[in-house]
Chain A
């Protein structure tokens, strides 16, 4: 075959640490004067499920587009499978499966044809694509929709079709930008289950999300991103351990009174966070903290003891909530 001959020389021999599939160093993207991504550094080993958690506008999608080889970086280094996406765009993209934030399926084509057409972009022959498309429709639980037009699908089905499409070239790295945003809870759980299966097959997952439960479900490790910078890095459990307490007591005294009563809660637990609608009390033992609140003669309208989550980590790190 002449295939090798057209590849730029050196492509396949690029150096990278064993096992690392993505590495970014001081990765920066500016639009005019605004730094959407402001010098972030991370690396992802093969098979890991790696998340970028942050609010809207944190620079997650821009980072994903740079990894995906569709947006050029302003500065810094980036390598995917040892390749620089700026110089080896097609080679980098051939390694990836991409699930964009907004579905961009071919609505005029039928469900199965969407998979076939997409596979052709990778030069895959129909003898492979036809059985593969059927296999992926099965995986995405869309077999009975194979001949439907795309615009007849529900939001969750479209999302699953987009994921099926991204797998047509059997990528070992899957990029998912906000995979479940806008889906109802049931559709989200079906999607998480599918993604978990891919993870079990050893596919490296890179996903952005602003849902902490999604990050906790799917990510082995994540970076918390805000305003284009990395605020913290670690496994979900690690991040909670380092930046929050084991439990949290949520107290509501009524919108007007939360702030006023907060001063009378001083000394209970490790830390207080006063939000407009509630007071968060961080403590190792939530129940005993709650008893101390009653002992001071305070009667909240509602109270709830729960485990710390990544939401608390984010609040601690940035002083803001994830979802406004």
Chain B
């Protein structure tokens, strides 16, 4: 009889390529989201500081400073304090600004500057999964940031209704409604000619100012009111106000807000997928 051999050291083996491929087909988008989150972790400190500092600064300036000059009893504010009136708008706008950053420069970095997408592109992941993974990671960031923002709003006593927390979801959805079409555009840019700076100055800022953020849209001259109607920020803000303090509007309009935001996000996602697949399949 032979002596039983000493137990062999378990060899370090990767699973078979077939298993890699099957797993990637199923979970690929999550694998890429994991990567984006790991990179974000590298600057998590500045993300948290931004997420906390921004609402505190805005709420303090607007709610404590500006509010003393604004007649809070004004019926145009839906019967709540000025701070409660603008809080949903600030929450939504902050999400849109973060989305505007996350869906522009990193996309350019992926395709052109540091060509980060082309690493995973050579792995079993597909271009569509790379896009989806990035979207998922940014969605998570928007949720986290909006939750912190909402906590600050609640601390300032600016969320009268019990449904105010749903503003976290509204803000995230609005971020995607604005950010995903922008992501599709970013993915189509081959030469950086400062387009993103133009987007910030001539799209994000005007939308921020003229979307019923600081005063009701009706206060604008009719000639420029359309800016609000096409603005995801306006739809998100109005929806947030309904949830936060029962802002009075036609129920159909509330449904329209959800439809516009959902529709823009879905359209943006589809266009982004197509762009990514086209650009990486050449």
User: Are A and B associated in one complex?
Assistant: yes
Report which of A68, A94, A117 forms a contact with B35, defined as CB distance below 8 A: A117
Whether the Cβ atoms of A117 and B123 lie closer than 8 Å is: no
Instruction: Give the CA-CA distance A120 to B18 in the complex, in Å.
Output: 15
Task: Using known A-B contacts A90-B25, A104-B115, A132-B12, determine if residue A169 contacts B31 with beta carbons closer than 8 Å.
Answer: no
| Residue of B whose beta carbon sits closest to that of A167 | B14
Q: Are A118 and B119 in contact (CB under 8 A)?
A: yes
Q: How far is the CA of A304 from the CA of B15 in the complex (A)?
A: 54
The 0/1 profile, CB within 8 Å of B marked 1, for residues 90-111 of chain A is 1101111010101011111100
Whether a CB of chain B sits under 8 angstroms from the CB of A123 is yes
Q: What A residues does B27 contact at CB under 8 A?
A: 123
Is the CB–CB distance between B119 and A6 below 8 Å?
A: no
Which residues of chain B have C-beta atoms less than 8 A from A71's C-beta? Answer: 281-282
Decide if B28 touches A94 in the complex (CB within 8 Å).
no
Q: Is the CB of A90 within 8 A of B126?
A: yes
Cβ-based interface call for B26 (8 A): yes
Complex formed: what's the CA distance from A81 to B16 in Å?
Answer: 13
Q: What's the minimum C-beta distance from B255 to chain A, rounded to whole angstroms?
A: 38
Assuming A107-B114, A108-B39, A121-B123, is B14 touching A90 (CB within 8 A)? no
Interface of B is mostly: helix
Q: Is the CB of B26 within 8 A of A70?
A: no
Asked if B38 is at the interface (CB within 8 A of a chain A CB), the reply is: yes
A122 adjacent to B42 (CB under 8 Å): no
1/0 per residue, CB under 8 A from A, across B111-125: the answer is: 000111111111111
Contact across chains for B17 and A117 when beta carbons are under 8 A apart: no
Q: Is the CB of B118 within 8 A of A106?
A: no
The residues of B that contact A7 with a CB separation of less than 8 Å are: 18, 21-22
Per-position binary interface string of chain A over residues 62-90, scored 1 when its CB falls under 8 Å from any chain B CB and 0 otherwise: 00000010111000000001000000111
Q: Does B97 contact A (CB under 8 A)?
A: no
CB of B258 within 8 A of chain A? no
Are the CB atoms of A106 and B21 closer together than 8 Å? no
- Can you list 26 A-B contacts with CB-CB less than 8 angstroms, sorted by A residue number? A3-B18, A4-B22, A7-B18, A90-B28, A90-B125, A90-B126, A91-B21, A93-B123, A93-B124, A94-B20, A94-B24, A94-B124, A98-B122, A102-B118, A105-B119, A106-B35, A117-B34, A117-B38, A118-B119, A120-B31, A121-B35, A121-B120, A121-B124, A122-B124, A123-B124, A124-B14
- Which of A3, A102, A106, A132 has a CB less than 8 Å from the CB of B14? A132
List the B side residues contacting A118 at CB < 8 Å. Answer: 119-120, 123
Contact B114–A122 (Cβ < 8 Å):
no
Q: Mark B269-282, 1 if CB is under 8 A from A, else 0.
A: 00000000000111
Chain A residue with minimal CB distance to B23?
A: A123
A124 in contact with B20 (CB, 8 Å): yes
Instruction: List chain A residues, Cβ under 8 A from B21.
Output: 7, 88, 90-91, 93-94
Judge if A152 is at the interface, Cβ distance under 8 Å.
no
**CB-CB < 8 A to A120: which residues of B?**
31, 34-35
A residues near B34, Cβ cutoff 8 Å: 117, 120
